[in-house]
């Protein structure tokens, strides 16, 4: 999913980590996801600002896995993304990309609830279905120094 802000009316500084709260239902017991934040300049160039990659079953407690209940609304929150410190010019847009982490360079989590190190696509049985409730949010550490 890709979200794009309106064009900024003033120059702003983004300084710190972003906070994100995701609300969704899923037909599995776990999912790996990423949230990536970009600046889209007035000239049409994308600049990577920050990202977060997480496993939903570790969102509440980073030391102990808490499996999700399939088809129940799940809330996943985090505030420990990579730090951002950049001035964004007037006319820039903020673009947020939210996706399920399934790239070839990462461990694949098939959502079965088994140890991710040993599960396989055969264990997955049915395709992942994730639905966002519309109550998700992202907060960026924005400073408007023109006011």
pLDDT digits (tens, 9 = 90+) for 77-115: 998 889 999 999 999 999 999 999 887 788 899 999 999
What pLDDT was estimated at residue 143? 81
Question: Which one-letter DSSP state was computed for residue 82?
Answer: P
Q: Is the pLDDT of residue 144 over 80?
A: no
What pLDDT was estimated at residue 146? 62
Q: Report d(CA 41, CA 69) in Å as an integer.
A: 41
Q: Report d(CA 142, CA 127) in Å as an integer.
A: 38
pTM: 0.89
Q: Which domains does the chain have, with CATH numbers?
A: 2-143 (2.60.120.260)
Q: 19 and 84 in contact (C-beta within 8 Å)? A: no
Cα→Cα distances 80→20, 51, 77, 85, Å: 9, 10, 10, 15
Q: What percent of the chain has pLDDT over 90?
A: 80
DSSP letters along 4-70, please? EPPPPSS-EEEEE--EEEEEEEESSS--EEEEEEEEE-TTS-EEEEEEEEEEGGGSS-SSS-----T
Q: Report d(CA 100, CA 33) in Å as an integer.
A: 4
Cα→Cα distances 104→53, 59, 127, Å: 15, 23, 18
């Amino acid at each position: 999913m890709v979200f794009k802000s309106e064009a900024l009316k003033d120059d702003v500084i983004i300084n710190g980590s972003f906070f994100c709260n995701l609300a969704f239902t899923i037909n599995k017991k776990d999912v790996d996801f990423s949230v990536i934040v970009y600046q889209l300049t007035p000239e049409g160039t994308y600049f990577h600002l920050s990202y977060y990659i997480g496993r939903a079953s570790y969102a509440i407690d980073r030391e102990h896995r808490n499996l999700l209940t399939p088809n129940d609304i799940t809330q996943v929150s985090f505030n420990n993304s990579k730090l951002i410190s950049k001035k964004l010019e007037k006319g820039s847009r903020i673009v947020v990309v939210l996706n399920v982490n399934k790239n070839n360079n990462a461990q694949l989590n098939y959502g079965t609830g088994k140890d991710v190190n040993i599960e396989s696509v055969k264990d997955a049985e049915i395709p992942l279905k994730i639905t966002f409730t519309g109550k998700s949010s992202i907060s960026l550490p924005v400073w408007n120094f023109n006011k």
